[in-house]
Amino acid sequence: MSDDELVAAVRDWAEQLEAALRLDGSVLDLDAVLDVAGLAARAVVRPAAPVTTYLLGYAVGRATAGGAPSGPAFAEAIAAVRALTDERRPGGTDERRPEGTDVRRPADESPA
């Protein structure tokens, strides 16, 4: 499956899941979620990715339940994840992936 097909499959799944969870289709910034999942997977271990995204969503939900707007709550949660993963990286910086690199797969792992 090509990277484009992978992204299309994830986007399709996300749309189906949003409908099943009765969420409006504007709540997910898929690129940002995949990016922080990739950061967590590389900075910690791969299983840290779903834990990170769950806790990210929980933090945003808790903030919005307390009256915070969702956009700033999401941005703050993303920033917290980035800061924590930066601390765990050698050199302490968020090394941006090269353009076109799939965030769900380490660069040294070729597509199936």
- Which token pair is 41? 């997977």
| Count of Cβ atoms closer than 10 Å to residue 32 Cβ | 15
Q: Taking the model in full, what pTM does it have?
A: 0.73
Predicted confidence band of residue 94 (pLDDT cuts 50, 70, 90): very low
pLDDT confidence of residue 91:
58
Region class of 102: left (phi > 0), else alpha (psi between -120 and 50), else beta? beta
Rg over alpha carbons for the chain, rounded to the nearest Å, is: 15
- Asked whether the predicted pLDDT for residue 47 surpasses 80, the reply is yes
Closest CA to 17 of 53, 67, 43: 53
